[in-house]
A and B are shown apart, each in its own frame.
Chain A
């Protein structure tokens, strides 16, 4: 009786393990180009356009975080708006102590990450349905507690201090760059995180939790890490939101609609892939811009599309593309390729 290793060993020299089918260099170069072009926008487009793009950045960051939670860690949270709100309020509080909102942004994001720790303790032992409801209650509770403090605006909110000296054009540009930076860092961070061991652990959990646990994977730690990262990301997005709105209003920053938007964008774009939220955000923005004057319609349609996609096209729009073209813009899997110079194999990724 030979072991699998003994059977495979003679052939090991014939194969190598790679991270992607094509060179990462090309995708990386392409991404860099996109970012550079986007960075130039404030110089070449109207500030109305950059404002719309800031919205897109916020939604994309939120969607990527929701995707990390639900698509990779299996945690369906309907309470991420707690961190969106907290991010905004951290900026407000720091602003009241004299710090510029842009300087406060990274601190707020980290603050949300810290806040995620006790909140995780509250909800970590719960599963699926209970977890979802618990996150919703958590967000509602956070909002109610914050509303009690009239020093930060109570139930009606407050304008952000520290923005008075800004000229409108510069403010719009700075807000835009802040949003771009947050989004790029968020996507980059998620990509690097999933490329590493965490990605393997999360995929293992997704496929078979019992097996993953018995193989020694630190599941609880993985989920905690994901929850904290999502807190940081959503907090950063919330900070950008506050800056873009020049004020913090509890009912706006803690609205369940944020969860609706990030969830729908992710589901439609494709749950469980990094590219999915990008597609989903594009769909979301197109719908929102087209139906702007029709109030609640874009959420209704978005919701209906999301339900349909969840039921019939489980891997979303990106899943449909991926199946045809077998492309990964963000390669996080592994391929087995034969050690033959110049030819690539048909290895399926992990």
Chain B
């Protein structure tokens, strides 16, 4: 499967303004620089994938967008407005909702209660708890169960559902495939078209490069906190991705390696 996901009404090509725009972002963990000069634009309807090795800064980037980290420089703009100073819960209510790494379900709450929490400050929209039950057929029957009794894939489904019921405009997915069997991962990513069809834009972080290339309309590769590659899956070769991922010399053809990226 090589066809990338829906390109999002061509808004990028039409010169419309991006839904989510990160400009020159730098994030420090104490003295350690986790992200440096990161810029990206996500347009409505796209599936934007961030790839990179462990420790490259992918999750830090997503968490900064969600508001859990404060950048030292740079800005996050959402729908034209600067949200850099907003707290995570404020961003969530505005429509930037994250499915955190490791699921992070509420252990003492049931499946349904987890969804209800997600729906507490939901925006108006097509997603309801019922609709989530329809998407994941098994969930309605087990909605009173404690989440600790679910399998990894089922927990991931609940975590996604919890984010969906908030009716986000941008859905941030942090390492969906972590700890899950490939078959399960495929099934979960198979939900992507349904999610996109309701007008949600997706920004995801993924360690599994081939999976990311399969679903994404745009990818960006990070290495040691810097961007090493940016472009569309159809425009980059496997060697380019490999080089960007592992940090070997970048090439000038096809996709766009970031300027000034280190070897």
The answer on direct contact between A and B (beta carbons under 8 Å) is no
